[in-house]
Structure 1
Amino acid sequence: MLRYEIAPAPQLQPDVKFIWALEEEAETYNRDSIIPDSYVELVINCGAPLYVETDDGERLDLPRVFLNGLQRKPLRLRTSGLCQFVAMKMYPWAVNPLIDVQANHSAGSITPLDQTWQDFGKTIATTVQHSGYEEAMYKLQQYVCDSSNQPPHDLHAIRTATKQLYASSGQGRMDELAAQTALSASQFERRFKYLTGVTPKTMARLIRFQNIVYTMYLDPLRRASHFAYDFGYTDQAHFIHDFKAFAALTPGEFLATNSDQFTEWTKWRQQKNTKLLLSKGFESIS
């Protein structure tokens, strides 16, 4: 596996987590599902065709460029050959101002992008083949910087409220967040859902879930009762029910199913800490 990552330019830092690229053999990539988290990904496929494997076993082919929005359940994203893509991991409020796409309000997470993006995707794929992933990532970043829209007037308020949810691991009170935006509770929920595609409560649950999964990676032996207490659930049963709603597995089943992934993630994290190229903020993990 080859994984590359760069920090966003200052212009994008309030709205973009990072820009990254992946190259991986199909046998390894197709082994795992994509677990829900609180981010939206702009994906440009530069390798073999990608497709979604549905619960019914059907194959839904994907275009070269698409958004993977906020998932409510695991996504079986598959490749028919060598997996190669360049992606931008964004905060959910950034979809419209950065990509000029309305946030996805449907249950499905995949949104194909328009022909302009498909044409640009070909440019990125050619760049990967001729100049490498680093050049392709910086080219994607520059394209987004040059084409981003004027943000809506209330973006700052929604962004600030959501970042408070991140800071509290999804345990903030919705009425307090609304009060800080100078909006009524109903106005806050309506604008939040318009910009992100989900309600504030759903976003809080996603943030809490992703923090639990991250903690599981760090400490897979941690007891379920400790997770329930640390992340503000009323009891252990509530924690297990909420976890299963997003993972389609109980915490114990999830740990058993993803043990190899935990090991690989730990190895990648250790390598990431030792292979950072400070001169350009560029990382290569192989």
Structure 2
Amino acid sequence: MKVEALDQGGRAAHPDLRTTVRRCGLHAEVHTPATERHLILPDAYIELQFYTGACWFEGADGQARALPPVFVFGTRTAPGCLVARGLTRVASVAMHRWCASRLLRIENLQGICTDVGPELQELGRRVVRLLDEGGGPEALAQVEAWLLARMPKGDDAQEAVDAAGLELHESRGAARIAPLAAELGLSVRQLERRFKDAAGVSPKAMARLIRFSDAQERIELDPGTSLAALACELGYADQAHFNRDFRGLAGLTPGQFAQVVRSSRRAQASPG
């Protein structure tokens, strides 16, 4: 049996969510034993996921934990493995880390968050029903409407954090905190404290995660890309620095990750 990609795609978020949501996505796939395991690496974003089917997450301890129909990929410091069997349909929203806690109203976004509260559970029931019926776009529209209704009103402290986070994101982690703080009328310490309170990580750690996420996405899109050129483009001092930093988060080098991506593509193209 060949893996069948039923639908797959991502799109920009609703215009009023663009400063908080990086992307929305839909994906559906029939998994075979050769394609049921998916390497999940740390990244710069917090991802809200809704799905139909059967999925488990294996952490560093190797123990598989069944996932409920709605959960959140929170802050992760080590790679893990998502196991999906049979047909799965997924709707997901990737949020900027410094916005996610106030949008989702979940205080602790560490690891895989399955205790999402009654409001998200109720939304999950509606979204999963739509996914089951093949209504992926309608499912994402419901999620966006739910998020729009929770957008907070103006808050000077949060606006400073948002401005700093977006500058880090748009500069691929290259922005420096001192000039940002001065521009926002804050001391470096004040901005760092506010940012860490909102994002759960320091601006420096956020910059590292943004560069790592960009590298990961580029390799996933093209595992044959020149790693030396990619290291230069993303602002690493050299390829050795790129290798060390990537391995520190992923547990494998960029070259090894590219090989994982190639192997996964071969498995998807082969009969089950």
Short-chain TM bin: 0.7 to 0.9
Q: Deviations over 1:194-253 (max 9, x none)?
A: 1111111111001111222344344724143x4444433344432211110122101221
The farther-off stretch of 135-144 and 255-264 is 255-264
TM-score, normalising length: structure 2: 0.84
CA contact (8 A) 2:174 2:235 kept: yes
Q: Which amino acid aligns with 2:63?
A: E
**Cα distance in structure 1, aligned partners of 2:38 and 2:22:** 22
Aligned residue number for residue 30 of structure 1: 36
TM-score, normalising length: structure 1: 0.80
**Cα distance in structure 1, aligned partners of 2:125 and 2:35:** 22
Q: 1:222 aligns with which of 226, 229, 232?
A: 226
Q: Which runs of 5+ in 1 are unaligned?
A: 265-286
Greater strand percent: which structure? 2
Determine helix, strand or coil for the equivalent of 1:76.
strand
CA contact (8 A) 1:43 1:65 kept: yes
CA contact (8 A) 1:50 1:78 kept: yes
Alignment of 1:122-271 (within 5 A): 122-130=125-133, 132-150=135-153, 152-216=155-219, 217-218=221-222, 220-224=224-228, 226-260=229-263
Q: 2:55 aligns with which of 50, 53, 64?
A: 50
Q: Percent identity?
A: 30
Determine helix, strand or coil for the equivalent of 2:50.
strand
Q: Deviations over 1:162-199 (max 9, x none)?
A: 22212222122222222222222222111111111111
**Cα distance in structure 2, aligned partners of 1:74 and 1:153:** 36
Taking only aligned residues, the RMSD between alpha carbons, in angstroms, comes to: 2.7
**Cα distance in structure 1, aligned partners of 2:144 and 2:114:** 20
Cα separation, partners in 2 of 1:146 and 1:215, compared to 1, 3 Å: closer
Cα separation, partners in 2 of 1:121 and 1:40, compared to 1, 3 Å: same
CA contact (8 A) 2:173 2:210 kept: yes
Determine helix, strand or coil for the equivalent of 1:159.
helix
CA contact (8 A) 1:95 1:102 kept: no
Is residue 19 of structure 1 aligned with residue 35 of structure 2? no
Aligned residue number for residue 270 of structure 2: none
Q: Which amino acid aligns with 2:197?
A: Y
Aligned residue number for residue 76 of structure 2: 71
**Cα distance in structure 2, aligned partners of 1:155 and 1:263:** 45
Is residue 116 of structure 1 aligned with residue 119 of structure 2? yes
Tell me by how many angstroms 1:144 deviates: 1.8
**Cα distance in structure 2, aligned partners of 1:130 and 1:234:** 49
Q: Deviations over 1:112-168 (max 9, x none)?
A: 301221122111111223361111111111122223343543222212212221222
Tell me by how many angstroms 1:100 deviates: 1.8
Aligned residue number for residue 87 of structure 2: 82
Determine helix, strand or coil for the equivalent of 2:145.
helix
Cα separation, partners in 2 of 1:230 and 1:86, compared to 1, 3 Å: closer
Tell me by how many angstroms 1:32 deviates: 2.5
Determine helix, strand or coil for the equivalent of 1:198.
coil
**Cα distance in structure 2, aligned partners of 1:23 and 1:82:** 7
**Cα distance in structure 2, aligned partners of 1:161 and 1:178:** 8
CA contact (8 A) 2:89 2:132 kept: no
Q: Which amino acid aligns with 1:178?
A: A
**Cα distance in structure 2, aligned partners of 1:253 and 1:161:** 33
The farther-off stretch of 242-251 and 73-82 is 73-82
Q: Which runs of 5+ in 2 are unaligned?
A: 268-272
Aligned residue number for residue 104 of structure 2: 99
